[in-house]
A and B are shown apart, each in its own frame.
Chain A
Amino acid sequence: MTTDSIAADPLLPGLRAPGNRVSRRAISYWTARAAASGAVVVLAEVALAAVSGFPAAWRAAIVTTAVLVGLHAIVMPRWRYNVHRWEVTDQAVYTRSGWFSVHWRIAPISRIQTIDSHRSVGERIFGLANVTATTASAAGPVRIHGLDRGLADRLLDQLAVATGQTRGDAT
C-alpha cells in the first residue's frame, strides 16, 4: 500500500519520499469528507427509491453503494496518509500526494511567485490548513494538504522569507 519509491525495479534510481508526513488529523478529515460525500449519494438513492416504493433492484443498489462508500471512507484516508508527504529545502518544495494514483511535484524556491494558505470549513473543524505555492506556470502550483494549522502558518512565513530573497521575473 505504501509507495516508498517510485521505481518498480529496485536497481534503478527512483524518487525518495519527501521528509514529512501530514498531520494525523488529516485521516479523520479525509474520512469525514469521504463519508459526507458518500452519504449524499446514498441519500439521493434512497430518496429516488422511496418515490418508486423501494423495489428490490433499488435496495440492492443502495446496499452496494453504501458498502462501496464505506470501504472508500475506510481505505482511502489511510492509504492517502501513507502517500502524502512534503518537504521544503532551501532549493525546492517537494511533495507527494494522491492515493491510487500518485503525484510528485517539485517547484524550485526561486520560481515561486505566491504562497497562499487556505482553510475550508472542514479543514477548520479538524484544525488543518493547506499551503499552496504557485509559480509562473498555470500548471505548476504545489499544494500541501492536511497540515497542522500552526505548522502551516510557520511554513508560510518561512516560505515567504525564502522566496523574497530571490529576484528575477521567475518565468
Chain B
Amino acid sequence: MTAHDVTGGSDEAGPPQVPGAGPARPDRTDSEAGWRRLSRRSMVVRPLTDLVRLLPLLAGLLILHAQTGAGLAWGVVASVFAVVTGLVHWGTTRYLITAERVYLRRGLLNQKTLSVARDRIRTVDVTAHLLHRLLGVCRVSIGTGRNDLRSGESFHLDGITRSEAESLRIVLLAAGAGVPPVADVARVADVVRLRLSWLRFAPLTMTGLVVLGVLFGGVIQITNATDINLAATGPVRQIVADFTALSVVQRILAAGAVALPAYMLIAMAGYVAVFWNFRLTGLGTDTLRVTRGLLSIRATTIAVSRLRGVEISEPLLLRAARGARCVAIATGLRIGRGAEREGSVLSPPAPRAVAQHVASTVLGLPADLCSGPLEPHGPAARRRRYIRALAGAILVIAAIYVTTRVQDGPAWVWITSFVLVPAGAAVAADRYRSLGHRLAGGWLVTRFGCLARRRNIISADAIIGWRIHQTWFQRRQGLMTLTATTAAGQQHYSVRDVPVAEGLALAVAATGDLLVPFLRAPSVQDLSPLFSALTGRSVRLSQAAATGSERSGEALVFWLVRLADRDDVVRAEPERSMRRLRRLRATRFLCRHLAGPEPSLLAFPAHGQDSGQERGSIGSRRGQRAHLGGDGRRELHAELLSSRGPELVVPAEEAVRRRGGLVGEPGELQMLRPAEQRGRDDGEDRGEVGPSGHPFLDHEGAGEHVAKPLALGRHHRGDQPCRDPDQVYREQPDLDKRRRQGADECLPESLGAAIIADDPDAERHLAERLAPAERLEDDRVADHHEQKAGQVHRRGRGSVQVTGARSRDDDGDEDQGR
C-alpha cells in the first residue's frame, strides 16, 4: 500500500515520523549536517507580510488611540508578536534533500517534520511577490500526488534565493522525471506567449469581478477598522444627491457610463497583473514551465509525466467572443475556482484556437480531439435538458405568481416572468449542443455546460475507477451519468446523460477489461426481433433457461455485429429509425472493444433444456430477404467462417474466470451436456484446448463446446435472490488462489465463451465441407431459405431455429447432431 506522500509528524520535538523512509532517513539527533536554512535576506519577509496583514487592525487601533487614548499598547503588542513569530518561523525552518526524500522541519516548541518522496514530486511552483522580488528571494511550493484538497500541510519553502530555487527545481523534477537536468536547458521551446490583443478577453471572465470583490472587501475592512462611515463623507453624499436627482433612464445611462468602463479597466488591470509576460515553455519533452505575473511573479514547473489531461473552459461570455482558456489536469495541481490563482493554468483567456493549440501541443494530441465534434448523446438527453430547464422555469414562474397574488402585487410581474420559458429553452438547447463525449487514442473527451462550458480531455490511463449514477428519471429514459475518477485535477470527470449502452461501451473501451466482468448482455429473448429483422429470416430464439441464456445473447450480439457492419443489412431494416441505428452502433462499438477488431467465428450455443417458457416467434419477412439476396447470404456465412483473427479459443474455466464473480462447481455442468459426449471429452474440456484437440474438429456442433461456459455463466451471476451472509461469504472469490492464475495470461477476448476462433488448419477443414453453416451450427441455424417458410417448431434444446428447416423431433435432433 502506498504511504502518504507528505506526512506531518507533529508532537513536540519527537522524532520525524516518516513512514516507509528509506535508508537515507536522516537521524534527527544528528548535527545540522545537510540541513539547510532559508535565505538570510528573507528574514524580514514573514514579519513584514504579517505586519501588512495586520495593517487594517493597526490603523483602527491608531484611530482609536487618537480618539480615546487607548489601544496603542495593543497595537504594539500585536506588532511585536507578529515580528517575533515571523523571525522564529524563519529561524527554525530547515530543509534537507536526500537521495530519496525531501524533508522540511519547522517550529520551535511544536516541531514538525514533513517529508516527501522525491519520485512523488509532480510540480514545483516558484512564486515571488513584490517583497520577495525586492529582496531577491522567492517561495517554492512542492506539489505531490497527494490530494491536497483537504490537507493543511502544504510543502513550501518561503524565502530562498532565486538561484537556489532554480537549482532546487531542476534537481527535484529531474528526479521525478528521471531525466538528467542538463537535457532540459538545451531544448526550450515556447508553446505560447501572451499577446496584448488578448486583453480584449479580460472583461469577459470572472477575473474582473474577483478583483472588484477584493477591492470592495479591502475598502469594507478599512472602513470597519477605522470606523469611518463612507456614506456620510462629503463627496459620497454629493454623488448620491446628484444621482437621485436624475430620471430613471438617466440613472441607468449614468451608472452604465461609469460602471462599464470602470469594470473593464479593473478587469484588464487584473488580467495584466496575473498574466503579464505569460509564457508556456516546453523544457525538453518532459517538463512544462509556466511563468507569468506583473507584480508577483509565478513560475510553475509541471512534469509532463504527471500531466493527465487538460481542460478547455469556455465561460458563456468568453465563448461568445470565441475565446477560451486552458487548464492543466495534473496530479498535485489543484483546480479550483479562480484557477488562475493556482498553478494549473496553461493559457490565459485567449482566442479559442490558442487554447486548443496549447492543449494539443502539451499532450501531443491530434488537434481534432481538442476542437473537433463530439458524439452527441441523443434525443433522450436532449429531452432531459429541455424538461429540466422548462420545469425549473415553470417552478419559478409559479412561485412568482403565488407571491404576487398573495402580496397583491401587479400582474405584469408574473406575466413578464414568462420570459423565462424561451430563456430556459435557449439554455437547454445550448446545453444539449455542449453535451458530448469521445474516446480516441487513449484520451477521453467530455464536454458539458452552458454558462461554463468545459471540454475535459483526460488520459484513459489516469482513470482509476468508475462511478455510474442513475436517477429514477434517467433510468426511465435509458440514460446514465458516467463518472471517471482520477487522482488529478477535479478528481472526477463526468459524461452526463449518456445512453446506457454507449456509456458502458465508452467505459469498457477506456479501461480495458475493468468493466467487462460486470456487463450484462441482452438475452436471447430480447434479441429475437432484431435478429429477425436483420437477417430477414424467420427465426425463433428460445429462452434456454437452464443454461445461461445471457451467454447465448452474447453470441448473438456478435453475430449481429458482423451483420451490422454490412451496409446492405443496415439498409434492409424495415424501420431505419435513428434509435435502431444508434443501438446497432453502440452494440457494435461495445463488441469491437470487447473482442478486438475481428471476432472471427461465432458459435451459437445451443445447449440447454427446454424451459417451457414462452418463446417469441416471428414470421418470415420476404421483403427484407430480398435485400440480402442469395449471394449476400453466402457472404454472410463466409464471413462467419473466415478466421483471420488471433486464436481466441479460451478454456471454459478461463473464460468464466475472466467474467469475475462467483464460479460454480464444474461437476454441475456435466449434467447439462448430452450423455454421449460427457464420457468423451471430459478431460479435454476441463483443460486447455490445444491445436490438436480443437473442439471444432472433435465435435461437430460448435454449441457443444460452448455449453460448458454457458452453464458456468449462470452460476456466477449475482441476481439470485437473497442468500444468507455466510453462504455469500463462502462464494466469494478466493483472492489468493485466483491471483496466481494471473490476469495477464488472458487472451484478448472478453465475452470469451461465445467466441470460438480457429487456427488456419481448422479453417481449412471447415472450408472443405459442404454447407458449412449447416454443419457448423447443426440445424439450429440452418439456412434453407429457399424452402417454404413453414411453421416454427418448438425445439428441446436449440437456441436459434429457422423455420423451414428439416423438422425433427427433439430426440432425433440430438442423435443426428453427434
B806 at the interface (CB under 8 A from A): no
- Residues on B lying within 8 angstroms of A by beta carbon are 1-2, 120, 145, 147, 149-150, 331, 462, 464-472, 475-478, 480, 483, 485-488, 490-492, 499-501, 504-505, 511, 513-515, 517-523, 526-527, 530, 557, 583, 586-587, 590, 660-662, 716-719, 722-723, 725, 728-729, 731-733, 735-736, 738-739, 743
User: Chain A nearest CB: distance from B552 CB in Å?
Assistant: 14
Partner of B472, one of A7, A100, A163, A171: A100
- Minimum CB distance partner of A18 in chain B: B718
Contact present for B478 and A7 (CB under 8 Å): yes
Q: Which residues of the partner chain A approach B729 to less than 8 Å between Cβ atoms?
A: 151, 154
A23 at the interface (CB under 8 A from B): yes
Q: Which residues of the partner chain A approach B488 to less than 8 Å between Cβ atoms?
A: 171
Contact present for B491 and A139 (CB under 8 Å): yes
Given contacts A12-B586, A103-B469, contact A91 B500 (CB under 8 A): no
A64 at the interface (CB under 8 A from B): no
- Minimum CB distance partner of B516 in chain A: A91
Contact present for A13 and B519 (CB under 8 Å): yes
Q: Which residues of the partner chain B approach A148 to less than 8 Å between Cβ atoms?
A: 725
Partner of B517, one of A89, A102, A113, A161: A89
Contact present for B2 and A16 (CB under 8 Å): no
Given contacts A8-B500, A136-B487, A140-B464, contact A91 B660 (CB under 8 A): yes
User: Chain A nearest CB: distance from B583 CB in Å?
Assistant: 6
- Residues on A lying within 8 angstroms of B by beta carbon are 3-21, 23-24, 85, 87-92, 94, 100-108, 111, 113-114, 135-140, 142, 147-148, 150-151, 154-155, 158, 161-165, 168-171
Q: Which residues of the partner chain A approach B739 to less than 8 Å between Cβ atoms?
A: 90, 162, 165
Contact present for A90 and B466 (CB under 8 Å): no
Given contacts A90-B733, A94-B518, A169-B2, contact A108 B725 (CB under 8 A): no
- Minimum CB distance partner of A137 in chain B: B485
Contact present for B722 and A21 (CB under 8 Å): yes
Counting residue pairs across A and B whose Cβ atoms lie within 8 Å, the total is: 221
Contact present for A13 and B501 (CB under 8 Å): yes
- Minimum CB distance partner of B738 in chain A: A90
User: Chain B nearest CB: distance from A61 CB in Å?
Assistant: 18
Q: Which residues of the partner chain A approach B526 to less than 8 Å between Cβ atoms?
A: 10-11
Q: Which residues of the partner chain A approach B485 to less than 8 Å between Cβ atoms?
A: 107, 135, 137, 139-140
Partner of A171, one of B149, B331, B471, B499: B331
Most chain A Cβ neighbours within 10 Å, of B465, B491, B719: B465
Partner of A137, one of B487, B723, B728, B738: B487
Complex Cα–Cα for A135 and B514 (A): 15
Contact present for B464 and A107 (CB under 8 Å): yes
User: Chain A nearest CB: distance from B593 CB in Å?
Assistant: 11
- Minimum CB distance partner of A100 in chain B: B472
Contact present for A13 and B465 (CB under 8 Å): no
Contact present for B519 and A102 (CB under 8 Å): no
Complex Cα–Cα for A13 and B590 (A): 8
Contact present for B476 and A14 (CB under 8 Å): no
Complex Cα–Cα for A83 and B150 (A): 32
Q: Which 9 A-B pairs have the closest CB atoms?
A: A19-B718, A139-B492, A8-B478, A12-B501, A140-B485, A136-B487, A16-B520, A89-B660, A171-B487
Given contacts A139-B491, A154-B729, contact A102 B718 (CB under 8 A): no
Q: Which residues of the partner chain B approach A136 to less than 8 Å between Cβ atoms?
A: 2, 145, 147, 331, 464, 487
User: Chain A nearest CB: distance from B586 CB in Å?
Assistant: 6
User: Chain A nearest CB: distance from B754 CB in Å?
Assistant: 13
Q: Which residues of the partner chain B approach A24 to less than 8 Å between Cβ atoms?
A: 722
Q: Which residues of the partner chain A approach B527 to less than 8 Å between Cβ atoms?
A: 11
Most chain B Cβ neighbours within 10 Å, of A18, A20, A103: A20
Contact present for B732 and A21 (CB under 8 Å): no
Contact present for B520 and A102 (CB under 8 Å): no
Q: Which residues of the partner chain B approach A139 to less than 8 Å between Cβ atoms?
A: 467, 483, 485, 490-492
